[in-house]
Chains A and B, each alone.
Chain A
Amino acid sequence: GAGVSQSPSNKVTEKGKDVELRCDPISGHTALYWYRQSLGQGLEFLIYFQGNSAPDKSGLPSDRFSAERTGGSVSTLTIQRTQQEDSAVYLCASSLTGGTTDTQYFGPGTRLTVL
């Protein structure tokens, strides 16, 4: 079946511009997660959605970062006024219920480069 998909696969932007990254989770998965993978910080949690609400957004690095999820499905991660330190691979994952024994399935990621 279809896995988690993310778009675009690559995004190059200029410093100061806004970007939107999209995640399509596996159909029927209620839990959705965003992570960031960067050279300096490794893989780090950003935000967790259960349905359309985000009970844990503790990993968002600044108020330039926001995310939403609509219809319990697609999620968008928005970065405003991008900075060079935002360059990273942004990964999305989904799981069936978000329970601690669930498996998270990861998408291929969006590679963001801020010039």
Chain B
Amino acid sequence: AQSVTQLDSHVSVSEGTPVLLRCNYSSSYSPSLFWYVQHPNKGLQLLLKYTSAATLVKGINGFEAEFKKSETSFHLTKPSAHMSDAAEYFCVADVSGGYNKLIFGAGTRLAVHP
């Protein structure tokens, strides 16, 4: 069965230090992969997406993610955390093979400390 696993439920970093949010997927084919962010009391917002083009994907707000087929991973990184990055992040896969039926990881809550 296809699934998305976010390896950390909580990550805490200091402002200005790098961010790494880990995600592994399980699929019988190379799915489209996404990272979404959810700020408190706000809707889900797309950060970036991988759709079988370049394996290194750049998104908004300085985030990027690298698709590694050999490791079935799609980790999200940012060189320098900002206080405004504090939110919940979801790694997401399209498992429909055609119409964008998304399955979500359990989420990683990112805390950023001054």
Contact = CB atoms under 8 A, between A and B. Distances in A.
Nearest to B46: A103
B63 interface: no
A55 interface: yes
Interface of B: 32, 36, 42-46, 49, 51, 90, 94, 96-107
Given A100-B32, A106-B44, A108-B43, A31 B103 contact: no
Contacts of A108: 42-43
B99 A104 contact: no
Interface in A77-105: 91, 93, 95, 98-105
Identify the 7 closest CB pairs spanning chains A and B, nearest first.
Answer: A43-B104, A106-B44, A101-B51, A108-B43, A98-B99, A106-B43, A42-B106
Interface of A: 3-4, 31, 33, 35, 42-45, 48, 50, 55-56, 91, 93, 95, 98-109
B104 A100 contact: no
B104 A98 contact: no
Nearest to A106: B44
Contacts of A91: 43-44
B101 A56 contact: yes
Contacts of A103: 46, 49
A48 B42 CA distance: 22
Residue among B32, B44, B51 with the highest chain A CB neighbour number at 10 A: B44
A95 to B, nearest CB: 6
Given A93-B44, A100-B51, A103-B49, 11 more contacts: A3-B43, A31-B100, A33-B102, A42-B105, A43-B104, A43-B107, A100-B32, A100-B97, A106-B43, A106-B45, A107-B43
